[in-house]
Amino acid sequence: KAGVTQTPRYLIKTRGQQVTLSCSPISGHRSVSWYQQTPGQGLQFLFEYFSETQRNKGNFPGRFSGRQFSNSRSEMNVSTLELGDSALYLCASSFTAGTSKWQETQYFGPGTRLLVL
Amino acid sequence: GEDVEQSLFLSVREGDSSVINCTYTDSSSTYLYWYKQEPGAGLQLLTYIFSNMDMKQDQRLTVLLNKKDKHLSLRIADTQTGDSAIYFCAVATNDYKLSFGAGTTVTVRA
């Protein structure tokens, strides 16, 4: 079974621009989560989606947004980029049987490395 | 929120055992994970343990969970040069997210 795929793998943008990152989960997985990884802050949770609904959002400004499509693929968007948005953005997917308790193992993609100049 | 703490560095001789420790604060944690990250790569799931277990063994990996002390450890037997990487402890709670430690950089020396 193919793993989690993320596109693009590398991206260079300038301050003020916006960017859209894409994530395709493992086939059959319905939950997609996004994390930001930086040397200073480590791994921080951005948001989680299940069946096109955002169930949780991390402590990030409104410039960070996401969505999930009916095929479980997900995108995240960052508008008005700042230098501090330079990071590795990781997407993870899990099966999630639809129960109220979120327990399934998350599998991560290779990430999109964003550099903001 | 959940706080997860790990020591930052570990140096180990090839062939020895490595032990990476992690502490967490949220007693309602369900699953606890160990991920490995090599340079320039994403996170590779190594193993996980459910909160009602004390120990889990998977080939060279042994996970120990002390729920009373909220302490998790990962032991890697017969450590090899390919085990050099950053290891992250992660804790799942019931709000659909993982909380990660800062990562332990493991260096394997010949």
The C-alpha atoms of residue A60 and residue A110 are separated, in whole angstroms, by 22
Helix or strand run (H / E) with residue B58 = strand B55-58
Please provide the DSSP assignment of A70-115 as one string. Answer: TTS-EEEEE-S--GGG-EEEEEEEE---S-SS--SPPEE---EEEE
Read off the pLDDT band of B30 (50, 70, 90). confident
**What pLDDT digit, counting tens, does each position of B41-86 carry?**
999 999 999 888 899 999 999 999 999 999 999 999 999 999 999 9
**Chain A residue closest to B90 (CA)?**
A43
The residue type found at A10 is: Y
Buried b / exposed e across A42-74, counting CB within 10 Å, b at 16+? ebbbbbbbbeeeebebbebeeebbbebeeebbb
A101 pLDDT more than 70: no
Strands B18-24 and A10-13: unpaired
B33 touches chain A (CB under 8 A): yes
Candidates A31, A43, A103; nearest CB to B30: A103
Confidence (pLDDT) at B94 = 72
The C-alpha atoms of residue B95 and residue B105 are separated, in whole angstroms, by 28
**Chain A residue closest to B47 (CA)?**
A105
The C-alpha atoms of residue A33 and residue A49 are separated, in whole angstroms, by 6
Give the three-state DSSP class for B108. strand
Contact residues, chain B, for A105 at CB < 8 Å:
31, 33, 45, 48
Q: In angstroms, what CA-CA distances link A79 with A14, A63, B88?
A: 11, 5, 29
Candidates A31, A50, A90; nearest CB to B43: A90
A93 pLDDT more than 80: yes
Mean pLDDT computed over every residue of chain B: 93
Look-up: residue for tokens 């990996």?
Answer: B61
